[in-house]
Amino acid sequence: MAIPEMRTSPWIKVRNSKIHGKGVFAAKRIPKGTRVIEYLGDRISHAEADARYEDHDPNDNHTFLFIVDKKTVIDAGVKGNAARFINHSCDGNCESVIEQSRVFIETTRVLEAGQELGYDYEIGREKDDPPNVDEIFACRCGSPKCRGTMLWPAKRPAPKKSATKKKATRRGKTATSGKTAASGKTANAGKTAPAGKSARTAKTAPRRRGR
């Protein structure tokens, strides 16, 4: 069954935020587990997203691009709604959920009227990140659990050292295949679904950087 579009929501209102620019706030008490709003915008391919923002300032972290899957990106800068103003928080009270190739924002705990909504963007690090990438994507959510960056993992991985080749000391020993994927993990997801949640509802949609 098709899910009705959630372009607007009686649960929220948009106003200026102390975290960054505009933010989204609870208009009234919102129960835990409430589907608040859908993240809407122009649905385009990754290639089109790259081309659209090819001249984007690399020192500007402002982007409304959201990955749905390997084929689709939502650009809320075009035909977007209030969901695009929900700020990042390292200790968010919401999460992004993908269902039927659409992105929804749901609360993970009770919000009182006036509280700002936020969720962890978990923007993925890339091999060609500039040295100041953590400054570009610095987090100012103010949470006691703030990790200081919107990027994930929180710390930049150390460059891998090239493996030193060793001569075989024994014959007949076959090469091991290395470690197998841990049970419950996919090769690319890296995270298991939280207990009590199906893979569908637990899948988060990572925020994509502007190009």
Residue for token digits 């009234």? 28
Could you give the CA distance from residue 159 to residue 66 in angstroms, rounded to a whole number? 28
Q: Is the pLDDT of residue 196 over 50?
A: no
Q: Is the pLDDT of residue 33 over 80?
A: yes
Q: What are phi and psi of 74, to 5 degrees?
A: -100, 125
Residue for token digits 């990955």? 67
Least confident of 104-118, 144-158, 194-208: 194-208
Q: Tell me the two tokens of residue 181.
A: 């994927």
Quick one: what percent of the chain has pLDDT higher than 70? 75
Q: What is the mean pLDDT of residues 196-208?
A: 42
Least confident of 27-41, 154-168, 189-203: 189-203
pLDDT at 57: 84
Query: Considering the entire predicted model, what is its pTM?
Result: 0.75
Q: What is the CA radius of gyration of the chain?
A: 20
Q: What is the pLDDT of residues 111-138, one digit of tens each?
A: 999 999 999 999 889 888 889 999 999 9
Query: Residue 109: how many CB atoms within 10 A of its CB?
Result: 12
